[in-house]
A and B are shown apart, each in its own frame.
Chain A
Amino acid sequence: NAGVTQTPKFQVLKTGQSMTLQCAQDMNHEYMSWYRQDPGMGLRLIHYSVGAGITDQGEVPNGYNVSRSTTEDFPLRLLSAAPSQTSVYFCASSSRTSGLSYNEQFFGPGTRLTVL
């Protein structure tokens, strides 16, 4: 199993450019999520999905879009990059317990994004 994979590892954008961060998992997990991590702050949830075709907003969704057409893939799109989106982005996935809670999360290696 590859676990959770993310591409690219590093990216530099100019203000106003758009791009897609890719995330894929091969563990058949229902739950997938995107977080951003900024210096001195904890992980903040951007968007999440509880299954193919189902997505919802997290704590900081503005400026980002997601889709979940398959169980495996959960891309994050930056519509018009801004310097405030300079951050490290992590994708994660998790399976459900029998009680409808979530098991441990598996994280991708992260994408370090700089917006100039």
Chain B
Amino acid sequence: KNEVEQSPQNLTAQEGEFITINCSYSVGISALHWLQQHPGGGIVSLFMLSSGKKKHGRLIATINIQEKHSSLHITASHPRDSAVYICAVSYSYGQNFVFGPGTRLSVLP
């Protein structure tokens, strides 16, 4: 059974700081997904990646397939980035997604 782990569990940063959230998994995957959930809000997909690096605005996601590890970086963090960030993996042949426990980020002004 694949386990998806995230670190840290909780993170508090000052506005403007560079933030890194890590995700690791134990079994080979088809793709890795980063999701964002604001307090009391819905869940949105930020990235889906199977290799390399993707960038969207101030968010950057990287994946190292050999090491089974992914990172989500936020540059110039802002209080509106405060949310829970969830790592999830998907597999070949239609197996279900597996989710990590989430990282709760608070960015203070």
Chain A residues within 8 Å of B, Cβ to Cβ:
31, 33, 41-43, 45, 48, 50, 58, 90, 92, 96-97, 99-110
Q: Given A99-B92, A100-B94, A102-B94, is A110 in contact with B42 using a C-beta cutoff of 8 Å? A: yes
Chain B residues with Cβ under 8 A from A97's Cβ?
Answer: 30-31
Interchain CB contact under 8 A, B42 and A108: yes
A97 to chain B: closest residue by CB = B30
Whether A101 lies near B94 (C-beta < 8 A) is yes
Residue in B closest to A43 when the chains form the complex, CB atoms = B99
Pick 13 A–B contacts, CB within 8 A, sort by A.
A33-B97, A42-B100, A42-B102, A45-B96, A92-B43, A99-B30, A100-B94, A102-B90, A105-B33, A105-B35, A105-B88, A106-B45, A108-B42
Given contacts A42-B86, A43-B86, A110-B42, whether A105 and B94 have CB atoms under 8 Å apart is no
Chain B minimum-CB-distance residue to A107? B43
Can you name the residue of chain A whose Cβ is closest to the Cβ of B9? Answer: A40
Q: Provide the bound-state CA to CA distance between A76 and B42, in Å.
A: 18
Residues of A within 8 Å of B92, CB to CB, are 99-101
A101 contacts B45, C-beta separation under 8 Å: no
Q: A104-B48, A105-B33, A107-B43 are in contact. Are A42 and B96 (CB under 8 A)?
A: no
Extra contacts besides A43-B99, A99-B30 (8): CB < 8 Å? A33-B96, A42-B86, A45-B97, A99-B92, A100-B93, A102-B31, A105-B35, A105-B88
Segment 78-109 of B: residues with Cβ below 8 Å from A: 86, 88, 90-94, 96-97, 99-102
